[in-house]
Structure 1
Amino acid sequence: MARPLVAAAAWSRPQAAWMLAVTAPGRAQVQARAYAFDAAAAEAGGNAEIDEVDFDPALANMVKLIGTVGGKKDLKVFERSKLLPFAIGIKPNAKQRPEEIEWINVEAWGPLAERADEQLNKGDRVAIEGRLKVDKWEDRMTGQKRTAFKITANSIAKVRSKFGAGGGGGFDQAGEEEAPWDRAAAQEDEWAGSAQRAAPRAGDGAGAGLHTVEELWMDYFEHPDQWWDNRVSKRSPNAPDFKRKEGGRDAPALWLSGRNTPGWVDGELKRLDSAKDLMG
């Protein structure tokens, strides 16, 4: 029997925020409930004051969404980690047209990525809890500054039931000749390519999010022949260790000592170097 993603999401209509039942409840879960807004209690209280809670860094920038899975990307497998990028479509208003669907980019890491790859299919309604992150870069073709939002998932759950015309973040597929996420695929593909238009100093994290750095490292390990390896030949310790061959001075670059360099890079690099040595 396949291991469940996390748990089934529970929805309480009087509450403005749905809560996920996690397998290991702790302080973060208790604190998360303190952050939840109970609409029914607020109405009963009339002019009730807004509650005050303690700051919890574990909950900073945490978001919870319900949406429908669009097309999944390929599962990226590394020696120490796995990554599954995908997108969920949000349609709060059932009267909205398919082209008005908002796509939210999601990435799952490690065992969660593996389970999501095995158990999620396009069209599944899911509840996502994770941390909101922002990527910023300058488009080399237009020179315009671009921004993309994404969620790094901490937990994923399948939603049991539909909530009718009231929304709930998903889609009612009945009577649809063409799935709305297929019509909006161009938006999703645009996000997928945005990581390759990262700032040149992405390896050091200047002006670029973690997503950009990891995508660049993945690109290097998948296509090492398209990158210059400057580890031995660089004249300055501040020079990049790797730089893409295409793009000239503005080509993406990576630093092993960059503050956003993922922890799995060192082991994956040793494996790649060993393979090159064996090939001569």
Structure 2
Amino acid sequence: MSSLNKAQVIGRLGKDPELNKTDSGSSVVNFSVATAERYRTEEGKKGEVTDWHQIKVWGGLAENCNQYLSKGSLVYVEGKMKTNKWEDDKGTTRYSTHVKAETVEFLSPKETAATEQE
């Protein structure tokens, strides 16, 4: 049996991207993307649930994301789900999951992203 690990997300950045460099000089940028699901209760009231997706982008694409994306930007992200495991200071095992982006499409111009969020 073969497997598939693919994530696709369309949403808005919750804050500006954070660019870092690895010890070897590779660029990596991190940002979070919000997606919202709207629903109606049995009583007819409207509701909304927001999910936050952590995104990690490497290399030249990371540099582009850092340059052209900002809080409120609308993006399409496609990649693979990755889970990191570590122990905190107290010895408790912790996990975090993110999308390792292979494709990032900018769906709104940088200039309008900030004004759309206001």
TM-score by length of 1: 0.33
Q: Is the 8 A contact 1:72 1:85 kept in 2?
A: no
Q: Which residue of 2 aligns with 1:115?
A: 64
- Give every structure 1 segment of 4 or more consecutive aligned residues whose post-TM-superposition deviation is greater than 4 Å: none
Structure 1 unpaired stretches of 5+: 1-53, 161-172, 180-280
Q: Quote how far apart the aligned CAs of 1:62 are.
A: 1.2
Structure 2 unpaired stretches of 5+: 40-46, 109-114
What are the Cα deviations for residues 149-196 of structure 1, in whole angstroms up to 9, with x where unaligned? 101100001236xxxxxxxxxxxx97x7xx7xxxxxxxxxxxxxxxxx
User: Which amino acid is 1:90 matched to?
Assistant: T
Aligned counterparts of 2:57 and 2:27: Cα–Cα separation in 1: 8
Q: Which residue of 2 aligns with 1:247?
A: none
Q: Which residue of 1 aligns with 2:74?
A: 125
Higher strand share: 2
User: Which amino acid is 1:74 matched to?
Assistant: E
Aligned counterparts of 1:105 and 1:145: Cα–Cα separation in 2: 19
TM-score by length of 2: 0.71
| Alignment size in residue pairs | 104
Which residue of the other structure, out of 65, 68, 75, is the alignment partner of 2:19? Answer: 75
Q: Quote how far apart the aligned CAs of 1:125 are.
A: 1.3
Q: Is the 8 A contact 1:128 1:155 kept in 2?
A: yes
Partner SS, residue 37 of structure 2: coil
2:52 equivalent to 1:103: yes
Cα gap change, 1:103/1:147 in structure 2, threshold over 3 Å: closer, same or farther?
Answer: same
CA RMSD of aligned residues (A): 2.8
The aligned runs of 1:1-280 (5 Å cut-off) are: 55=2, 60-78=4-22, 79-93=24-38, 95-96=47-48, 100-141=49-90, 143-159=91-107
Partner SS, residue 72 of structure 1: coil
Structure whose CA Rg is larger: 1
Higher helix share: 1
